[in-house]
Amino acid sequence: MTRKPVDTGAPDRLYTVTGGRSRADDSFDLVTLVVSECEPTAGMQSEHVRILDLCRHPTALVELAAELALPITVVRILLGDLHATGKITARHPRLGQSAAAHPDTTLLQEVLHGLRNL
Amino acid sequence: MGSATSEASALPATRTPLGDAAETGLKIVVVGGFGVGKTTLVRSVSEIRPLNTEEVMTQAGIGVDDLGGVAAKTTTTVAFDFGRISLNERLVLYLFGAPGQERFWFLWDRLFTGTLGAVVLVDTRRMDDSWYAIDRLEHHGTPFVVAVNRFDEDTAAHSLDEIRQALALPEGVPLIECDARVRTSGKHVLVTLVDHLYHMALAQESAS
């Protein structure tokens, strides 16, 4: 799979999407599941509209990035906007941002069970 | 949004959304050199066609590209594939195929914090590619298993013992063979990893 999803030749476009910001909200992990809490409204930025549409069901940040064909950082910024205004909620991963956080046996048993049932 | 729209049309026409009870995302990383079969492995077990996304990193001198003493900021774009497995109503596992080359590891460090563990996929014809990945994982304390991708009728096969020696793998690290194209084989690799994690966690819990 060598397809390039993002037109990185046009960084201007990415700046437009984020209103010139390049610092993202790091609280959104790649696998944070995002859920819309409202319908898109008229006049909303098109990327915000698409996120609210996609997140009618829980959707991971990384899937949003792939669907929107935008880099992770840009999607984090967009999610930060929506989160700050209560338009989305976030289900963060249990293991969180700490590399030292080891999963417990109960969780791993659940994972094993799920994998064996594949 | 021109480029984004044209790319979106290349994705599957029908998305498969998660169930509404999904609440916890988990991560496993598949690392390995170029062409070793990372995406193939992800595809063989994923419930969705592997998707591709990327991260743009701005780094002041990552220390790999020789900039001839110019302290320039470089922008690096790293693409990676991922797939998804719904384990049950609440748990969803994401599998990331991460480029193992040395110059991408700064990104790996950042993106994949909080992973359950890693699979190092090895091609015996290019074993050199695996050393750096294994070194970084050990350095980070990220638990991993090593899977030798036996594709293309790899009959000049080195034995697993030889491979363990060549990679200087400690005895405690599981080393298995797989065929990344085959779903049951890919599944076995993941089960081996999580089983390894389970026993590590068990030992830790009984020690404390």
Q: What is the pLDDT of residue B72?
A: 54
A5-64 residue pLDDT tens: 454 455 566 767 787 777 666 789 999 999 999 999 999 999 999 999 999 999 999 999
Q: In what order do the strands lie in the sheet with B51-60?
A: B51-60, B73-86, B91-99, B24-32, B117-122, B144-149, B175-178
Nearest to A4 by CA among B81, B134, B170, B107: B81
A vs B, Cβ pairs < 8 A, gives 185
Report all structural domains of chain A as residue ranges with CATH numbers, in order of start: 11-116 (1.10.10.10)
The 10 Å CB-count burial string (b at 16+, else e) for A13-50 is bbeebbeeeeebeeebbbbbbbbbeeebeeeebebbeb
Place of tokens 């397809």: A3
Report all structural domains of chain B as residue ranges with CATH numbers, in order of start: 21-207 (3.40.50.300)
Q: How far does the CA of residue A84 sit from the closest CA of chain B (Å)?
A: 20
Q: What is the pLDDT of residue B152?
A: 64
**Contacting residues of B for A21, CB less than 8 Å apart:** none
The 10 Å CB-count burial string (b at 16+, else e) for B160-172 is eeebbeebebeee
Using CA atoms, how far residue A77 sits from A49, B21, B166, B192, B196, in Å, is 14, 25, 44, 37, 36
**Contacting residues of A for B108, CB less than 8 Å apart:** none
Complete DSSP assignment for B51-80:
EEEEEEEEEE--SSS--TT---EEEEEEEE
From the list B4, B56, B112, which residue is nearest A69 (CB)? B4
Q: What is the pLDDT of residue B149?
A: 93
Q: What is the pLDDT of residue B63?
A: 45
Q: What is the pLDDT of residue B64?
A: 45
Query: Which among A2, A30, A52, A110 is the top mutation candidate for probing chain B, defined by the most B β-carbons within 10 Å of its own β-carbon?
Result: A30
Q: Which residues of chain B have pLDDT under 50?
A: 1-12, 61-71
Interchain pair B87, A103: CB under 8 A: no
A76-87 residue pLDDT tens: 999 999 999 999
ipTM of the complex: 0.85
Residue of B nearest to A13 (CA): B1
**C-alpha of B180 from chain center:** 13
Q: What integer is the mean pLDDT of A72-76?
A: 92
**Contacting residues of B for A62, CB less than 8 Å apart:** 51, 53, 82, 94
Query: Which among B26, B77, B138 is the top mutation candidate for probing chain A, defined by the most A β-carbons within 10 Å of its own β-carbon?
Result: B26
From the list B8, B52, B93, which residue is nearest A111 (CB)? B93
From the list B79, B114, B198, which residue is nearest A95 (CB)? B114
Phi-psi group of A49: left, alpha or beta (phi > 0 → left; psi -120 to 50 → alpha; rest → beta): alpha
B85-138 residue pLDDT tens: 999 999 999 999 987 777 777 777 777 788 999 999 998 888 887 888 898 889
Q: What is the pTM of this model?
A: 0.85
Q: What is the pLDDT of residue B208?
A: 76
